[in-house]
Amino acid sequence: MVKKSSSQLSHLDAEGRIRMVDVGAKAVTARTAEASGFVMMSPATVRAIREHRTPKGDPLEAARLAGIMAAKRTPELIPLCHSLALSHADVQIELRDDGARITATASTSAQTGVEMEALTAVSVAALTLYDMCKAIDREMTITKIRLERKSGGRSGEWRRSGNKKKG
Amino acid sequence: MVKKSSSQLSHLDAEGRIRMVDVGAKAVTARTAEASGFVMMSPATVRAIREHRTPKGDPLEAARLAGIMAAKRTPELIPLCHSLALSHADVQIELRDDGARITATASTSAQTGVEMEALTAVSVAALTLYDMCKAIDREMTITKIRLERKSGGRSGEWRRSGNKKKG
Amino acid sequence: MVKKSSSQLSHLDAEGRIRMVDVGAKAVTARTAEASGFVMMSPATVRAIREHRTPKGDPLEAARLAGIMAAKRTPELIPLCHSLALSHADVQIELRDDGARITATASTSAQTGVEMEALTAVSVAALTLYDMCKAIDREMTITKIRLERKSGGRSGEWRRSGNKKKG
Amino acid sequence: MVKKSSSQLSHLDAEGRIRMVDVGAKAVTARTAEASGFVMMSPATVRAIREHRTPKGDPLEAARLAGIMAAKRTPELIPLCHSLALSHADVQIELRDDGARITATASTSAQTGVEMEALTAVSVAALTLYDMCKAIDREMTITKIRLERKSGGRSGEWRRSGNKKKG
Amino acid sequence: MVKKSSSQLSHLDAEGRIRMVDVGAKAVTARTAEASGFVMMSPATVRAIREHRTPKGDPLEAARLAGIMAAKRTPELIPLCHSLALSHADVQIELRDDGARITATASTSAQTGVEMEALTAVSVAALTLYDMCKAIDREMTITKIRLERKSGGRSGEWRRSGNKKKG
Amino acid sequence: MVKKSSSQLSHLDAEGRIRMVDVGAKAVTARTAEASGFVMMSPATVRAIREHRTPKGDPLEAARLAGIMAAKRTPELIPLCHSLALSHADVQIELRDDGARITATASTSAQTGVEMEALTAVSVAALTLYDMCKAIDREMTITKIRLERKSGGRSGEWRRSGNKKKG
């Protein structure tokens, strides 16, 4: 599972100080990332969401919008993450009987990847779902937030191992 | 698991439109919340973090700081969350052989609770750990983000059911 | 229409320098404000919005959410506006044949009023509507953004003159 | 006035969910936009501003600065607006006997236009004028916020119809 | 000069981890702080500023406004600083033959002091002066940023030693 | 010390109004800047920091992280500063017997330089050190914040005069 030598964490310099990676010498390429997560809910909570999905809006749309907005602000939240201009960010939420599955994608043309943007979008969408349903269910659990795939940059296409079955 | 009638999600008005809860009539009381989460890592990643924990700093401290800072910005991220002044926010991270357990607490004296602040602190600390280790392990998974307990406000003390064994 | 002596604009000090009003000696009271605005649209644009109002969400909900979020960030945008914790913010949008009427309310318990929060919510909701429809109608015009009423504080209840007929 | 088929609002996907436009395939070109607006004021308010315009600063400069700063933060406010780096933003304010006319321009070299940046600059400049004069005139109305022209991108030069007479 | 036992830095917990001070048990009192700083400039730069101080605005007003706005955002910048609502923030700038002296005051009614708000206002005002004059003088130096006095809270009134002569 | 004719401050237009520089016609080049500053501390404060520098983190790392994060947010703080994507930001802090010397570097590939990003990183790192030590030493002074060198852009390489001896 470890993709490079573990002798070097790229955010630490020779003396172990926290540092931002210098991407100045990296190529500007089209980069995308996809991440996912799941908010476990009681069946009653899922039903409550379903019953209130009206033409005027619903918690899923608020969560999607919050996730997209958070993707844009990722570098403010994650200390060593580079600022970049996303060409696209999207959050999809699928309501299942035991909760909500969230998938986010982010794309850019830049010197660094957008994994953190996709993961942040999933996380904030999940937190928003929690916020909007917590009055009826405080026990919801946000789980399985993970990178599904990425493309672009030096390492090219990457997919989570076992993605065929888990995806 | 559902604590109130599921006939009413408090963020939706009579016609189903998304709405912020009006807390103007709630009492100002001391409120605290504790949340937790876990970042699953490969043993090699955990070892890599351990080997680089030097006097000059380490990924765990960056994640803790990012979580505390995010707690303060929760209302910017979560659309219907109220702004409030935290009297305290803390993030603790315990490195285990299979990953990092994150616990966050938030406190305030306000008309509304701080569950979202604690959950946001956990989430952003987890994302920061991911960011700082992703160069060696893209398969890390952020999991089990959940509220552990809250106190203050009308509903008083609340603890996750089964907290004794799972905590 | 001018409510005090025009000899003194409260944001300018004796030498005319821009200054924030010191509200330290004002009473903490419950304060509310209501503002409104209108986005003029072509009939075809209004119809396009109406046809796409699906159970999964629509531009009006995005605009409402953006307005509520902007209300919370008013002091970051308006240089001399005080930070405060809103107990409530709401944005309503009514689609008419010639556009969309936006109404926003904001409430707090603080030493200063929330007129700017209500006006900012209306403005950002209107901008969001523009953004979401501009691909089909660049000629939309945002108009009539104004304070409708306010309550609380030293000046008590205030209503726009002629509010009965224009409201 | 509707420039494309109204059968498709570009922010909605096939199922009507809110979405960000993917600009990844668009060309990076120089793009500019100009927007305008008007703050209607009582003659007494206009006179008050004129009398206090001192060498140390005045409300108009605060409003101009607030507008420029807001232009840079547009993607934080407008949910589906792309982040981009402005090469220029400017706000001009002309005081007239019945209020203040605001004009803003924004420029970039990017894959998407800057209409929202220009409109946001106008709106926040207008709100700042309101904030700085509201102590003497709560009835001011912000009106006629609209796009005047844009250039760059696939659609090339665009000017508001009737711009010659209204401009 | 050290006011308490140096055996305990209040931001570090028993194991030396960074932590936010818990102010939940502190009294809400009126608190103020005053800070100052100086931007050393060449005489030619000072003259250039003086010559351009026109009725339409000048670098000093932009710096003052930027300082006031930054004071409100202090908790976003300083990781362990508490969020609070300022009742007042002010920045004064006095142009001298060898540069610009900046003084900032901040006030609140809260459980914690506003020293950082005053110091941040001075710092950002100084940076803004630098930005606005750097095209003609890159050698400007920002210096002597320090707390002058504070009041309120448990420690009561404090003044910098030697404040009588240096102030 | 003045590098251009002082007859023209580039942020002021013909009538003296504050304005952003239009960088649309400038070349995109690799640009770097280095800035430095010093926080004067009592020897007891320096010793206190040294004694608490544990494997779990210390004030210097918090200050470094805060500086890096602030560099990314420079355009939000400095009104006329352009938004850009940093390819790198770094803050180094060297503890000396009389305080802490801070050095920051920033890099980008853009149409405008990153002096303000480097200076902002130094300033916020210094403020964070102040915040984290102020409980034991309120008399610390932040001093000598200045640009050390810059490269890239039309003016090419620039170094502070006397950099050999003062550096």
- pLDDT, tens digit, for every residue of A88-123? 999 999 999 999 999 999 999 999 999 999 999 999
* pLDDT tens column, B6-46: 344 566 565 667 888 899 999 999 999 999 999 999 999 99
Among the partner residues D30, D85, D89, nearest to F20 by beta-carbon distance: D89
Q: Are C113 and C105 in contact (CB under 8 A)?
A: no
Better-predicted residue by pLDDT, F77 or E9: F77
Whole-number pLDDT of residue A82? 95
d(CA E130, CA E143): 12
Supply the mean pLDDT for chain C. 86
Across C85-103, average pLDDT: 96
Query: What are the 10-residue block averages of pLDDT along chain F, 167 residues in total?
Result: 44 70 91 98 91 59 95 96 95 95 96 96 97 92 98 91 54
Helix (H, G, I), strand (E, B) or coil at E91: strand
Whole-number pLDDT of residue A59? 87
Q: Are C89 and C117 in contact (CB under 8 A)?
A: yes
Give me the percent of chain A exceeding a pLDDT of 70. Answer: 84
Q: Check CB contact of F20 with chain D, cutoff 8 Å.
A: yes
Q: How confident is the model at residue C136 (pLDDT cuts 50, 70, 90)?
A: confident
Whole-number pLDDT of residue E26? 92
Across A65-73, average pLDDT: 97
Least confident of B125-129, B147-151, F50-54: F50-54
The answer, yes or no, to whether residue A53 has pLDDT greater than 80, is: no
Residue F131 catalytic?
yes
CA distances from D42 to B164, C106, C115, D48, D141 (A): 67, 26, 19, 10, 10
Do B107 and E79 make contact, defined as CB atoms within 8 angstroms? Answer: no
Q: Check CB contact of E120 with chain F, cutoff 8 Å.
A: yes
pTM attached to this predicted model: 0.92
- Residues paired with residue B18 on neighbouring β-strands, in sequence order: B12
Whole-number pLDDT of residue A77? 97
Tally the C-alpha atoms within 13 A of residue E63's C-alpha that lie toward its C-beta.
31
- Residues paired with residue C22 on neighbouring β-strands, in sequence order: none
Q: What residues of B are in contact with residue E20 (Cβ under 8 Å)? A: 68, 88-90
Q: Which amino acid is at C140?
A: M
- Identify the CATH assignment for B29-152 out of 3.90.1200.10, 3.40.50.1820, 1.10.15.40, 3.30.70.640: 3.30.70.640
* pLDDT tens column, D8-61: 456 656 566 788 889 999 999 999 999 999 999 999 999 888 886 433 347 898
Domain boundaries, chain E: 29-151
Across C110-120, average pLDDT: 96
Whole-number pLDDT of residue F161? 87
Output the CATH code of domain F29-151. 3.30.70.640
Catalytic residue among C22, C97, C131, C137: C131
Whole-number pLDDT of residue F53? 44
- Name the F residues in 47-66 with CB < 8 Å from any B CB: 53-58, 60-62, 64-65
The answer, yes or no, to whether residue C129 has pLDDT greater than 60, is: yes
Whole-number pLDDT of residue F103? 98
Do E68 and C111 make contact, defined as CB atoms within 8 angstroms? Answer: no
CA C132 to chain centre: 19
In eight-state DSSP terms, residue D14 is T
Among D112, A87, F70, which Cα is nearest to E73's?
A: F70
Across E51-74, average pLDDT: 80
Whole-number pLDDT of residue F139? 96
Give me the percent of chain E exceeding a pLDDT of 90. Answer: 68
Q: Are E142 and E126 in contact (CB under 8 A)?
A: yes
Q: What residues of D are in contact with residue E62 (Cβ under 8 Å)? A: 61, 65
Do A48 and B11 make contact, defined as CB atoms within 8 angstroms? Answer: no
Among the partner residues B11, B77, B81, nearest to A59 by beta-carbon distance: B11
Q: Does the interface predicted TM-score (ipTM) exceed 0.95?
A: no
Do D56 and E60 make contact, defined as CB atoms within 8 angstroms? Answer: yes
Whole-number pLDDT of residue E57? 44
Whole-number pLDDT of residue D57? 44
Do A68 and D110 make contact, defined as CB atoms within 8 angstroms? Answer: no
Q: Which CATH architecture has domain D29-153?
A: 2-Layer Sandwich (3.30)
Among C92, C78, C76, which Cα is nearest to C34's?
A: C92
**Min distance C12 CA to chain E CA atoms (Å):** 12
* pLDDT tens column, D62-118: 999 999 999 999 999 999 999 999 999 999 999 999 999 999 999 999 999 999 999
Q: What residues of E are in contact with residue B87 (Cβ under 8 Å)? A: 22-24, 82, 111
The answer, yes or no, to whether residue D165 has pLDDT greater than 80, is: no
Do B16 and A52 make contact, defined as CB atoms within 8 angstroms? Answer: yes
Whole-number pLDDT of residue A4? 40
